[in-house]
Structure 1
Amino acid sequence: MGTPDFSVPTLRALVDAGHDVVGVYCQPDKQKGRGKQIQMPPVKETAIDLGLPVYQPNTLKDEIVQQELVALQPDVIVVIAYGKILPPWLIRLPKYGCINLHASILPNYRGAAPIHYAILNGDTKTGITIMHMDDGLDTGDIIDIVETDIELNETTGQLFERLAQLGANTISPVLDKWVNGDIQSLPQDNLKASYTSKITKEMGLIDWTQPAHAIVNLIRALNPAPGCYSYFNGKRLKIWTAQVLDGNSNSISINGKLVAVDSSNVVGTIVSTMDGLAVLAGNGTYVLITEVQPENKKHMSATDFINGHQIKGGMCFDK
Structure 2
Amino acid sequence: MDLLFLGSSSFPIPFINALHESSHRLLAVITRPDRPSGRGLEVRPSAVKKFCQEKGISLLQPSSVNEKNFLGYLVSLRPDLLVVVAYGEILRPELLAIPPRGSVNVHASLLPKYRGPSPIETAIMEGEARTGITTMLITPALDEGDIFLQREVEILSHETAGDLYEKLMQIGPPLLLETVEGIAQGTLVPVPQDHSQATYTAKITPQMANIDWQQEARRIHDLIRALNPRPGARTALRGNIIKIWGSQVIGQDKYATKGPAEPGSVVGTSSPEGLIVATGEDFLRITELQPVGRKRMRGEDFIRGYHVQVGDRFEKTPLKLDMPVVKDLCYPPREK
- Give deviations 1:255-305, integer Å, cap 9, x for gaps: xxxxx422232111111124532100003x101111111121111112111
Secondary structure in structure 1 of the residue aligned to 2:12: helix
**TM-score under structure 2 length normalisation:** 0.89
1:103 is matched with which residue?
Answer: 108
**What RMSD in Å do the two structures reach over aligned CA positions?**
1.3
1:226 is matched with which residue?
Answer: 231
**Within 2, Cα distance between the matches of 1:264 and 1:149?**
37
Matched, 1:77 2:82: yes
1:255 is matched with which residue?
Answer: none
2:329 is matched with which residue?
Answer: none
1:277 is matched with which residue?
Answer: 275
2:263 is matched with which residue?
Answer: 267
**Please, which runs of 5 or more residues in structure 2 have no aligned partner?**
1-5, 317-336
CA contact (8 A) 2:129 2:154 kept: yes
CA contact (8 A) 2:66 2:91 kept: no
| Letter in structure 2 aligned against 1:261 | T
CA contact (8 A) 2:121 2:227 kept: yes
1:244 is matched with which residue?
Answer: 249
Matched, 1:204 2:209: yes
- Give deviations 1:140-188, integer Å, cap 9, x for gaps: 1100011111111111122112212321121112211122111111111
1:299 is matched with which residue?
Answer: 296
2:310 is matched with which residue?
Answer: 313
Secondary structure in structure 1 of the residue aligned to 2:168: helix
CA contact (8 A) 1:122 1:217 kept: yes
**Within 1, Cα distance between the matches of 2:164 and 2:315?**
31
**Within 2, Cα distance between the matches of 1:31 and 1:222?**
24
2:20 is matched with which residue?
Answer: 15
1:58 is matched with which residue?
Answer: 63
1:287 is matched with which residue?
Answer: 284
How do 1:27-66 residues align onto structure 2 when only pairs under 5 Å count?
A: 27-66=32-71
**Please, which runs of 5 or more residues in structure 1 have no aligned partner?**
253-259
Matched, 1:169 2:209: no
Shift of residue 234, structure 1, vs aligned partner: 1.3
**TM-score under structure 1 length normalisation:** 0.93
**Within 2, Cα distance between the matches of 1:71 and 1:151?**
47
1:112 is matched with which residue?
Answer: 117
CA contact (8 A) 1:155 1:221 kept: yes
Secondary structure in structure 1 of the residue aligned to 2:225: helix
**Within 2, Cα distance between the matches of 1:278 and 1:72?**
60
> Structure 1 pair 318/108, CA: closer, same or farther in 2 (3 Å)?
closer
State, as a whole percentage, how many aligned pairs show the same letter: 39
Q: Structure 1 segments of 4 or more deviating over 6 A?
A: none
CA contact (8 A) 1:23 1:72 kept: no
Shift of residue 218, structure 1, vs aligned partner: 0.7
**Within 2, Cα distance between the matches of 1:71 and 1:167?**
30
1:2 is matched with which residue?
Answer: 7
**Within 2, Cα distance between the matches of 1:38 and 1:246?**
49
Matched, 1:147 2:152: yes
Kindly tell me the number of residue pairs found equivalent between the two proteins: 309
| Letter in structure 1 aligned against 2:58 | P
